[in-house]
Amino acid sequence: MVICFSPIGASLRNRIRDFPSIVNCTTIDWFSEWPPDALEAVAQKFLMDVEMDHEVRQNCVVMVQNFHTSTEVMKDKFFKMLKRVYYVTPTSYLELINTFKTLLKEKRTEIANLKDRYANGYDCLVETETKVNTMQKQLEDLQPVLVQTGKETDAKLVVVTKETEEADKIKAGVAIEEADAQKIADEANAIKVDCGTQLAEALPALRAAEDAVKCITPGDIAILKKLANPPADVRLVT
């Protein structure tokens, strides 16, 4: 039966104090530091599932080995300077490799996203440049048409200006004629009003004359015919 404990912290010391048989009834075997070939084999195994070239994988194995061994060297310096123990265990080495794999995956994803963004941006720039060139070509083709259209527009503008001036003159003449017609209409209206007034005054006399005429009899006409020299009033009436 094998029981494994980590020397880090006070857990091992507390367990030995609570259970002395851990020391009295067991054979203590302290694992020594992993040799370089063991570090290399472990790194090779854990990095095998990472997609990369063989040469790059070998360099990564050397890199994590260097990190682990340099940490062990710094651990000894730390103990000599501050008398504090810092444990470099195989778990630390495995965590280092897993951390490297996680960071590598994150950076690859980040770089792939940036690459896609740059690729999309480049495609948009190329497409925009193509459209701009096409529009430039169309503009160059339309330039003569635009020049001709400009000339025609200028000529039409001259004609329109001339016609506008003539129309303004006609408008001025029409305004004068309209003023004259309005004056004549006002005078005619005044005459109409005067005629209406005179007619209103003459209507009673007309009705009285009609009533007087209705009183003349055929005998009166016969007497009138017999007069050789009628009086002045009779002549006026007849």
Q: Return the amino acid letter for 7.
A: P
Residue 48 is predicted with a pLDDT of 87
pTM: predicted TM-score of the whole model, two decimal places: 0.46
Least confident of 26-40, 138-152, 166-180: 26-40
* Rounded average pLDDT over 152-180: 86
Residue 25 lies in a domain: yes
Q: Are 26 and 3 in contact (CB under 8 A)?
A: yes
Cβ-based neighbour number of residue 237 at 10 Å: 13
Q: Determine, yes or no, domain membership for 213.
A: no
Tell the residue number behind the tokens 């091992």, with chain if given.
Answer: 12
3 in any annotated domain: yes
Please give the Cα distance from 211 to 18 (Å, whole number).
158
Q: What is the mean pLDDT of residues 88-103?
A: 85
Please report which confidence band the pLDDT of residue 31 belongs to, taking 50, 70 and 90 as the band edges. low
Say if 131 falls within a structural domain: no
| Alpha carbon distances (Å) from 186 to 103, 128, 172, 191 | 103, 74, 21, 9
The domain total for the chain is 1
Q: Is residue 195 included in any domain, yes or no?
A: no
3-state secondary structure of 119: helix
pLDDT value at residue 106: 93
**Residue 5 pLDDT exceeds 80:** no
Range of the domain at 18: 1-30
Q: What is the mean pLDDT of residues 188-217?
A: 79
